Chain A
Amino acid sequence: MSAFGTVIQLVYLAAAACFVIGLHLMNTPATARKGNFVSGGGMVAAIVATLALIIHDGTVTATGWIVLLAGALLGAGAGLYSARTVQMTAMPQLVSIFNAVGGGAAALIAIHDYTRLAGTGGGVPESTTVTTLLDVIIGAVTFSGSLIAAGKLQGVIPSQPLVFPGSRQVNAVIAVVAIGMSGYLISTVSVAGLIVVIVASLAFGVTMVLPIGGADMPVVISLLNAFTGTAVAMAGFVIRNDALIIAGALVGASGGILTKLMADAMNRSLANIIVGGFGTGDSAAITAAAPGAGVRSIASDDAAIQLAYASKVIIVPGYGLAAAQAQHELAELARLLEERGVDVSYAIHPVAGRMPGHMNVLLAEANVPYPLLKEMEEINPEFPRADVALVVGANDVTNPAARRPGTAISGMPILDVDQAKSIIVIKRSMGTGYAGIDNELYADPKTSMYFADAKTALAELTSAVKAYVG
Chain B
Amino acid sequence: MSSVLLTDLTIFVLSLLVGIEVISKVPATLHTPLMSAANSIHGIVLVGAMLIAATANNPLGYILAFVAAFFAAMNVVGGYVVTGRMLKMFRRRAAPPAPEVTAPAAPDLTGAAPSEVTRSGEGVR
User: Which A residues contact B (CB, under 8 angstroms)?
Assistant: 15-16, 19-20, 22-24, 26-30, 32-33, 35-36, 39-40, 43, 46-47, 50-51, 53-54, 57, 59-61, 63-65, 67-68, 70-76, 78-80, 82-84, 86, 88, 91, 94-95, 98-99, 101-102, 104-106, 108-109, 111-113, 115-116, 119, 125, 127, 221-222, 225, 228-229, 232-233, 235-237, 239-258, 261, 328-329, 331-332, 335, 339, 348, 350, 353, 355-358, 360-361, 364-371, 373, 375, 456, 459, 462-463, 466-467, 470
Given contacts A47-B50, A74-B70, A239-B51, contact A370 B36 (CB under 8 A): no
Interchain CA distance A371-B91 in the complex, whole Å = 8
A63 to B56, CA, bound (A): 9
Q: State the CA gap A286–B22 with chains docked (Å).
A: 44
Tell me if B26 is interfacial: C-beta within 8 Å of chain A: yes
Partner of B67, one of A28, A71, A98, A243: A71
A135 to chain B, nearest CB (A): 10
Q: Taking A33-B84, A244-B47 as contacts, is the C-beta distance between A373 and B29 under 8 angstroms?
A: yes
Which residues from chain A contact B70 at a C-beta distance below 8 Å?
A: 71-72, 74-75, 78, 101
Shortest B12–chain A CB gap in Å is 5
Q: Quick one: given A106-B45, A246-B11, A331-B101, are A60 and B54 in contact (CB under 8 Å)?
A: yes
Q: Which residues of B contact A241 (CB under 8 A)?
A: 47-48, 51
Task: Among A23, A361, A373, A462, point to the contact of B19 (Cβ < 8 A).
Answer: A23
For residue A46, which residue of chain B has the nearest CB? B47
| Interfacial chain A residues near B17, Cβ < 8 Å | 253
Can you name the residue of chain A whose Cβ is closest to the Cβ of B107?
Answer: A459
* Chain B contacts with A in 62-87, Cβ cutoff 8 A: 62-87
30 A-B pairs with CB atoms under 8 Å apart are A20-B18, A23-B23, A29-B30, A36-B83, A43-B43, A43-B76, A47-B46, A57-B54, A59-B55, A64-B65, A67-B62, A70-B66, A71-B68, A73-B73, A88-B89, A98-B79, A101-B75, A229-B38, A245-B8, A258-B34, A356-B32, A357-B31, A361-B89, A367-B95, A370-B90, A375-B27, A462-B109, A463-B109, A463-B111, A467-B111
A76 touches B73 (CB 8 A): yes
CB distance B30 to A228 under 8 Å? no
Contact B116 A95, beta carbon cutoff 8 Å: no
CB neighbours (8 Å) of A54 from chain B are 50-51, 53-54
Complex CA distance for A222 and B34, rounded to whole angstroms: 11
Q: Which residue of B lies closest to A262 (CB)?
A: B31
Q: Given A75-B77, A249-B16, check contact A243 B44 (CB 8 Å).
A: yes
Contact: B11 with A22, CB < 8 Å? no
Task: List residues of chain A with CB within 8 A of the CB of B111.
Answer: 463, 467
B84 neighbours in A (Cβ, 8 Å): 33, 36, 40
Nearest CB to that of A373 among chain B residues?
B29
Contact B48 A105 (CB under 8 A): yes
Provide the residues of chain B in CB contact with A27, threshold 8 Å: 22, 25-27
CB distance from B113 to the nearest CB of A (A): 10
Cα of A94 to Cα of B1 in the assembled complex, Å: 39
Q: Assuming A112-B64, A367-B94, is B73 touching A79 (CB within 8 A)?
A: yes
CB of B78 within 8 A of CB of A83, answer: yes
Bound complex: CA A463 to CA B51 (Å): 60
CA distance A456 to B50 in the complex (A): 51
Q: Nearest Cβ in chain A — how far from B102, in angstroms?
A: 6
Please give the residue numbers on chain B whose beta carbons come within 8 Å of chain A beta carbons, in ascending order.
1-2, 4-5, 8, 11-13, 15-20, 22-58, 60-95, 97-98, 101-102, 104-105, 108-112, 115-116, 118-119, 122
How far, in angstroms, from A19 to B31 measured CA to CA in the complex? 16
**Alpha-carbon distance between A45 and B113 when the two chains are bound, in angstroms:** 54
Closest to A366 in B: B101
Tell me the total A-B contact number using a CB cutoff of 8 A.
433
Question: Are B38's CB and A251's CB within 8 A?
Answer: yes
Across the interface, which residues of A come within 8 angstroms of B36, CB to CB?
Answer: 91, 95, 98
Assess A237 versus B67: contact at CB under 8 Å? Given A54-B51, A95-B35.
Answer: no
Do A360 and B32 form a contact, CB below 8 Å, given A239-B48, A244-B45?
yes
Residue of B nearest to A371 (CB): B92
Cβ contact of A115, chosen from B8, B20, B61, B110, cutoff 8 A: B61
How many angstroms from the CA of A73 to the CA of B41 in the assembled complex?
A: 19
User: Given A239-B48, A463-B115, are A367 and B81 neighbors across the interface (CB < 8 Å)?
Assistant: no
Q: How far is the CB of B115 from chain A (nearest CB, A)?
A: 4
Check B115 against A467 for contact (C-beta < 8 Å).
yes
Which residue on chain B has the smallest CB distance to residue A255? Answer: B38
Cα separation A350 to B118 with both chains bound (whole Å): 40
**What's the Cα separation between A28 and B26 when bound, in Å?**
7
Determine the residue in chain A with the shortest Cβ distance to B64. A112
Given contacts A26-B26, A115-B60, contact A236 B32 (CB under 8 A): no
Q: Is the CB of A246 within 8 A of B15?
A: yes
Residues of B within 8 A of A47 (CB): 46-47, 50, 76
Is the beta-carbon distance between A229 and B53 smaller than 8 angstroms?
A: no
Which chain B residues lie closer than 8 Å to A43 at the CB level? 40-41, 43-44, 76, 80
Chain B residue contacts of A94, Cβ below 8 A: 78, 82
| Residue picked from B75, B81, B86, most chain A C-beta under 10 Å | B75
- In the complex, are the beta carbons of A68 and B48 less than 8 A apart? no
Docked-complex contact B34 and A26, CB < 8 angstroms: yes
Q: Give the distance in Å from the alpha carbon of A248 to the alpha carbon of B108 in the complex.
A: 49
A73 to B22 CA separation, bound complex (whole angstroms): 33
| Residue contact B74 to A98, C-beta cutoff 8 Å | yes
Residues of A within 8 A of B41 (CB): 19, 22-23, 39, 43, 247, 250-251
